[in-house]
Structure 1
């Protein structure tokens, strides 16, 4: 069983939406939200069952070119300007488009094998592509669409909007243009009003820090845990959580703490991505294309998580997320534009390296992302999965096919089975 690459090329935008400048290459500076996020590619894989007729690869290519004409950043390149600042060059160099075939069975199980459904680049023009696509056709007629993009160009919500637009273009349906003014969402106040400790949340001091360290040296398993609608309802009742996200994450946090066998006094934490589009004042358009995410960081002693009721974990999560209101986001903008980051040589916390987030978890919610709305002409995906990344502690929360919740959690192999068992416990 293998995945065979049949072709690879760059797809450029068509000219239905000309670039902002026609007399020179247009440069888009990154704002403070773009600069503070992860400096790497992230990926998602969509699986589609064969309807009477899935779109042809030529249809996908045509739709991609049309979508790129509005989302020009995904056809550009991320570079450093003369002063070393990261910028996006809208040069229409193109997105990478790979065609492949496979004789693997479906559905796909979480494992390192998932990387075969994403483009593999060897550098050069293709390796520099901000957006990269691989279409993998299966003998049964099903299709995998692997999509990766550079996180500094867009967050998950922005990438989801692009994918939905690509689907509209494939079906010949007009789609709304993105809101692309990155400078408008990161305007500092005069005078500055910095009310929170951003030096120890979004940034950290030690540039030589090797990142998070774990006492465990083991392979990382990607564990998928499904929470049925009934069990989610039970967790919400037990946790007194107003949202399914808070209830499920509280359960995952306790289960990971038990499975890892942390000492009772050890402090464990979560890093939860929080989308600021609806939290800004005034709220920002959902069509904003860029990054607008900061992080809530709940903390607790391991013993308190394990021995106290589930509502204890949920309340800590809820309180920390609630702190990230419009005032917090604006305080971050003021701090990041104050000159302190450069003067003190602060480093974005998202860039900390390491193969483990021990004893914490990094949680991304895909529950409200537009991924499940992607439709290229053959219906919506029957499975959406994050790509495998060999970093222990990564968590992605997705809608389940039955209305429940799917959680993809990276755990060391030696703890994976106990983690699954603790996730299902009702105490």
Structure 2
């Protein structure tokens, strides 16, 4: 390690309205994962200097002041975001080898890349630590690996997409950069004239103290690349209009159910992340910075997942996602207001690090995000990876950069399921 510094956001005049504030968590923040999420961006030469990346980061964070803050504890004992501009942690390292010598993915299995991003802290350790942590690793050939870790309690995938685009733009444009003005008013994510919630959010997004402990397993993360030809054939198998996400999830649900040997009469469900910004009534600005994700839960018996047509499985997925509508979001916020009034402590059902979702799955679609093409001036990453998926059964999807219409998938599976899954995952039956 050559250096370790805190990069602070550029201070404006007058100061940002949130400067010094203790921002309470929204109900969406409380429902999401309590962890640092690592991403790895690999850039061959030429690449911008570390100084240019840090200056651009400082300018970008000025528009997203939460990212220069810290998780803290308020007077009620609840964690909040202290917008104190303590800065993002930036680690700078250099390796006396060429980038080509680094093994990132071996036989489809993502290598241990922990040396390329900051150490992931436990939930207890994150209070007072930087919520944005970045490692810049330089190679002899001029290549660069950016290890990027952000705390999920601060922002979701949509917000991250906006920030990464802003940081890249700040680096490319230098002094000509003009910071955007994302929507920062999290107060909009509270119940208005709350009533009794319609849905049982106390067992959907949150859980009680009597819930059984989650199972754990040794897991590996694998990377799959589905070609545009495969995707065209997959959509043809559905036999009706569908999205890339719907047909890809239907395929992965079938293959993981087969691979895991789930009993025919056992139920399996998928926890599908749904961006609620455009689904709320009225809609919330698309550039809202923070968390605004809930989950749909398509559920079928294993025999139906395996024997039903692709079209039938797609319908189950589509119907479940459509249920996350304005009424459901309103009920969720009403539940939060009721829980606060009663002094309830809420524990999210999001899977904890190291746990096992089997026979279930969780999926996050990054198909509409630009993570895979974040360009700091020398072109997009080659490759982009999610190196440490926190729990078995979680998968993410994003567009292939090399094959327009293709899809890349990363999924964490139990070690014993990896090799059999790799043998069947590209088969359309």
Q: Tell me the TM-score normalised to structure 1 length.
A: 0.90
How far apart, CA to CA, are the structure 2 residues paired with 1:96 and 1:276? 30
How far apart, CA to CA, are the structure 1 residues paired with 2:183 and 2:20? 20
Say which SS state the counterpart of residue 221 (structure 1) adopts: strand
- Residue 10 of structure 1 contacts residue 126 of structure 1 at CA under 8 Å; is this kept in 2? no
Map of 1:138 onto structure 2 = 139
The answer as to 2:52 corresponding to 1:59 is yes
Map of 1:322 onto structure 2 = 322
Residue by residue over 1:205-248, the C-alpha shift from the partner in whole angstroms, topping out at 9 and shown as x without a partner, is 2356322x26xx5x312111111111111111212351001101
Equivalent of 2:91 in 93, 98, 114:
98
Say which SS state the counterpart of residue 338 (structure 2) adopts: coil
Alpha carbons of 1:370 and 1:207: their partners in 2 closer, same or farther (altered >3 Å)? farther
Q: CA deviation at 1:347?
A: 2.2
Map of 1:183 onto structure 2 = 187
Q: CA deviation at 1:283?
A: 2.6
Alpha carbons of 1:132 and 1:207: their partners in 2 closer, same or farther (altered >3 Å)? farther
CA RMSD of aligned residues (A): 2.4
Q: CA deviation at 1:348?
A: 1.5
- Residue 22 of structure 2 contacts residue 74 of structure 2 at CA under 8 Å; is this kept in 1? no
Alpha carbons of 1:303 and 1:188: their partners in 2 closer, same or farther (altered >3 Å)? same
Deviates more, 1:96-105 or 1:245-254: 96-105
Alpha carbons of 1:122 and 1:426: their partners in 2 closer, same or farther (altered >3 Å)? closer
Alpha carbons of 1:351 and 1:229: their partners in 2 closer, same or farther (altered >3 Å)? closer
Say which SS state the counterpart of residue 412 (structure 2) adopts: strand
Map of 2:273 onto structure 1 = 273
The answer as to 2:7 corresponding to 1:11 is yes
Say which SS state the counterpart of residue 421 (structure 2) adopts: helix
- Residue 16 of structure 1 contacts residue 66 of structure 1 at CA under 8 Å; is this kept in 2? no
- Residue 271 of structure 1 contacts residue 296 of structure 1 at CA under 8 Å; is this kept in 2? yes
Map of 2:421 onto structure 1 = 419
The answer as to 2:328 corresponding to 1:333 is no
Q: CA deviation at 1:199?
A: 2.2
- Residue 103 of structure 2 contacts residue 111 of structure 2 at CA under 8 Å; is this kept in 1? no
Say which SS state the counterpart of residue 42 (structure 1) adopts: strand
How far apart, CA to CA, are the structure 2 residues paired with 1:299 and 1:147? 34
| Structure 2 residues without counterparts, runs of 5 or longer | none
Residue by residue over 1:76-127, the C-alpha shift from the partner in whole angstroms, topping out at 9 and shown as x without a partner, is 0011101112211111111000112233525721535222211137899997
**Alignment length, in residue pairs?**
415
How far apart, CA to CA, are the structure 2 residues paired with 1:17 and 1:365? 39
- Residue 59 of structure 2 contacts residue 179 of structure 2 at CA under 8 Å; is this kept in 1? no
Say which SS state the counterpart of residue 294 (structure 1) adopts: strand
How far apart, CA to CA, are the structure 2 residues paired with 1:410 and 1:259? 13
Say which SS state the counterpart of residue 379 (structure 1) adopts: coil
Q: Once superposed, which parts of structure 1, at least 4 consecutive aligned residues long, lie more than 6 Å away?
A: 121-127
Map of 1:88 onto structure 2 = 81
Equivalent of 1:197 in 193, 200, 213:
200
The answer as to 2:36 corresponding to 1:36 is no
Deviates more, 1:71-80 or 1:11-20: 11-20
- Residue 209 of structure 1 contacts residue 352 of structure 1 at CA under 8 Å; is this kept in 2? no
Q: CA deviation at 1:410?
A: 0.8
- Residue 353 of structure 2 contacts residue 390 of structure 2 at CA under 8 Å; is this kept in 1? no
| Structure 1 residues without counterparts, runs of 5 or longer | none
Alpha carbons of 1:39 and 1:134: their partners in 2 closer, same or farther (altered >3 Å)? same
How far apart, CA to CA, are the structure 1 residues paired with 2:423 and 2:88? 42
Alpha carbons of 1:299 and 1:126: their partners in 2 closer, same or farther (altered >3 Å)? closer
Deviates more, 1:124-133 or 1:249-258: 124-133
How far apart, CA to CA, are the structure 2 residues paired with 1:249 and 1:300? 14
Q: CA deviation at 1:353?
A: 6.1
The within-5 A match list for 1:141-180 is 141-172=142-173, 173-180=177-184
How far apart, CA to CA, are the structure 2 residues paired with 1:152 and 1:122? 13
